[in-house]
Amino acid sequence: MKILETARNVINAEAKAVETLANRLDESFVKAVELVLSCTGRVVVSGMGKSGLIGQKIASTMASTGTPAFFLHPAEGIHGDLGMIMKGDIVIAISNSGETEELLRILPVVKRLGVDLIAMSGKPGSTLARSADIHLDVSVSEEACPLGLAPTSSTTATLAMGDALAVSLLVSRGFKAEDFAIFHPGGALGKKLLLRVEDLMHQGDAIPLVEETTPMQEALFVITSKGLGVTGVCDNTGTLGGVITDGDLRRALAKGEEILQTTAKNLMRSKPKRIKREELAAAALQLMEQYSITSLFVFDNDHTGKPCGIIHLHDLLKAGIA
């Protein structure tokens, strides 16, 4: 089909552009990363049209991975917004032709402020490239557009270069998942990286616990009243020795056992799975999925064996962890 053939040609052309870009990386890229790492201010990304849209994404990626950055529209810049640029900042200017008028008009101010300029363009001999302290070549042999007009391969290559910069900076800074979470507090990602077991666990009287000698009739009441479908079983020192779940009760009844005629110790399963309170809530979910269980007793680091809480699968679901 002509449609599929066209689509494949576009994807292949853009893939080729990115592959060529990777092979062309040189010391200029290293110097650009080192320059940003030494920056005491912010990274100001600017570009017009499609280059501007790519620039917004690059600035956003940098800002979320430990490099303070924002996007400045060059047309707005020449009408007053250049005041956003301060000494100590770095400007990344994006233009495939390297001759975008609005972008070139902000260069004198950039130079006057003594701000370093990194240019991304597809023309190494362009005005923008020659004006820059560092030029990153994002040229492509052809656009994926059969008319050679719509920015396609060139914008893909520029986006890839921006991602390469952002990730290289991330790695150089030793940026960790916990750092990433600070900039992404909302949504599922932020919750997975920020919420800890202690933030969601049930504590105090809400923890379902009985002693080993507790009659099962009383243990049943605890399982029901606490609403978590489980109770922990402790010895006379308060150390957790086992658990009884509503699933254990169903299996015992199916075998014809007289569960009301025994004690909690005789029905409990020993060595229950547990988790420390400072662990990520996402780790609790992983354990539950691994062992096909719905709750975990939570412990401090005091090695007493006494649970300080319990976390249930429903708590994780309500918090949006799953």
DSSP letters for 209-238: EEETT-BHHHHHHHHHHHTSSEEEEE-TTS
Kind and range of the H or E element at 245? strand 240-245
Identify the pLDDT of residue 201. Answer: 95
Identify the pLDDT of residue 284. Answer: 92
Residue-wise pLDDT for 42-61, tens only, equals 999 999 999 999 999 999 99
* pLDDT, average across residues 87-115: 93
d(CA 319, CA 322): 8
**b/e 309-321 (16+ beta carbons within 10 angstroms → b):** bbbbbebbeebeb
2-175 CATH, one of 3.40.50.10490, 3.90.730.10, 3.90.1150.10, 3.50.30.10: 3.40.50.10490
Q: 197-318 adopts what CATH topology?
A: CBS-domain (3.10.580)
On the question of pLDDT at 80 being above 80, the answer is no
Q: In the chain, what percentage of residues exceed pLDDT 70?
A: 94
d(CA 322, CA 316): 6
On the question of pLDDT at 78 being above 90, the answer is no
Q: What is the mean pLDDT of the chain?
A: 90
Q: In the chain, what percentage of residues exceed pLDDT 90?
A: 71
In this predicted structure, which of 200-214, 249-263, 285-299 has the lowest mean pLDDT? 249-263
Residue-wise pLDDT for 216-264, tens only, equals 999 999 999 999 999 999 998 999 999 999 888 999 888 888 888 899 9
On the question of pLDDT at 317 being above 90, the answer is no
On the question of pLDDT at 180 being above 90, the answer is no
On the question of pLDDT at 188 being above 60, the answer is no
Identify the pLDDT of residue 191. Answer: 63
Adjacency order of strands within the sheet including 116-121: 69-71, 43-47, 90-94, 116-121, 134-137
Identify the pLDDT of residue 185. Answer: 56
On the question of pLDDT at 187 being above 60, the answer is no
Q: How many CA atoms lie within 13 A of 253 on its CB side?
A: 8
In the chain, domain spans: 2-175, 197-318
